[in-house]
Amino acid sequence: MNLIIATRKSKLAQIQADIVINLIKEKHNINSEKMLIVTEGDRRLDVTLDKIGGKGVFVKDIEHALLSKKAHGAVHSMKDVPFQLAEDFEIVAIPEREDIRDVFISRDGRKFQDLKKGAVIGTSSIRRAAMLKAMRNDLNIVPIRGNVQTRLEKMEKENMNGIILAAAGLKRLKLESIITDYFDPKIFLPAIGQGAIGIEALKEGEYNSYLRSLDNKTARITVEAERSFMRKLNGNCSSVIGVYSEIKDKDLYMIGIFDVGGKIVKKDILGNKDNNIELGLKLAEKILKG
């Protein structure tokens, strides 16, 4: 028996699927193979995500493979997964989380703090753009989409001074050496679920017990808290929304930002990690009160 794991075609998506395939092999001695799917989000790089349906454009085409029973599970970057899944599906596992930080990649090796006034930085993330402007409002921020390799090529071709990417993707691609600066995640707040991989399946999937065994409790607690925060705020890829979360012993500490009426509000919360969903909701409520 081979499990079929659906994922996007990009190099990073395939590496993430391989991580899951290796975990299944280690835990259950079961072989799996990848089913590669080109999603609408991959096909339409000429427009911003909010114009073509938001984060769900990376997920819907892959969900069709699950619905048709052509695949037993699907692997996503959790930051691409909308907070509301269709009722047939669930995230059955979130394996151990990678580095949650955002990073700066410089075209000429210059550190972020040493960038000249008016430097051109590439990012299509409204969250990243807002936090860059909060640190340096002189920067010229331009949109850039595509996979990691595409963005690196565009940075060179279009003479950008640098781009912002997620540390997790670069580490999984073994491209850590190109990182110029790591941003402090308590200041430059990551996306919801950044650094986490999610395994999606049909609710009554035949092989869900194998997939569920790959769940990492710490990753599950933080990611579900963050998604609860996003759900309450109805956050999406056209929102300035970011969150930092960490577990210390029995405590879960979270910092969140959200644009409330044109003003970015930042608040934090501390509570018992067993109340993670409630903490995400309470943090959102604190922010909405301003």
HEC readout, 257-269? EEEECCEEEEEEE
pLDDT category at 193 given cuts 50, 70, 90 is: very high
Average pLDDT over residues 246-266: 95
57 has a pLDDT exceeding 90: no
pLDDT value of residue 275: 98
pLDDT category at 49 given cuts 50, 70, 90 is: very low
pLDDT value of residue 46: 53
CATH 3.40.190.10 fits 1-97+196-215, yes or no: yes
For 102-182, the fitting CATH number among 1.20.58.1290, 3.40.50.2000, 3.40.190.10, 3.90.1150.10 is 3.40.190.10
At CB < 8 A and 24+ separation, what contacts does 150-155 make? 150/45, 151/122, 152/105, 152/178, 154/122, 155/105, 155/107, 155/122
SS3 of residue 140 by DSSP:
strand
Average pLDDT over residues 120-133: 94
Catalytic sites, residue numbers: 80
SS3 of residue 289 by DSSP:
coil
37 has a pLDDT exceeding 70: yes
Please give the Cα distance from 64 to 66 (Å, whole number): 5
Extents of the domains making up the chain: 1-97+196-215, 102-182, 216-290
pLDDT category at 52 given cuts 50, 70, 90 is: very low
Homologous superfamily in CATH for domain 216-290: Porphobilinogen deaminase, C-terminal domain (3.30.160.40)
Average pLDDT over residues 278-285: 98
SS3 of residue 280 by DSSP:
helix
238 has a pLDDT exceeding 80: no
What are the percentages of helix, strand and coil residues in the chain, rounded to 5?
A: 40, 25, 35
1-97+196-215 matches 102-182 in fold: yes
Please give the Cα distance from 16 to 197 (Å, whole number): 7
Please give the Cα distance from 54 to 124 (Å, whole number): 12
Higher-pLDDT residue of 225 and 148 is 225
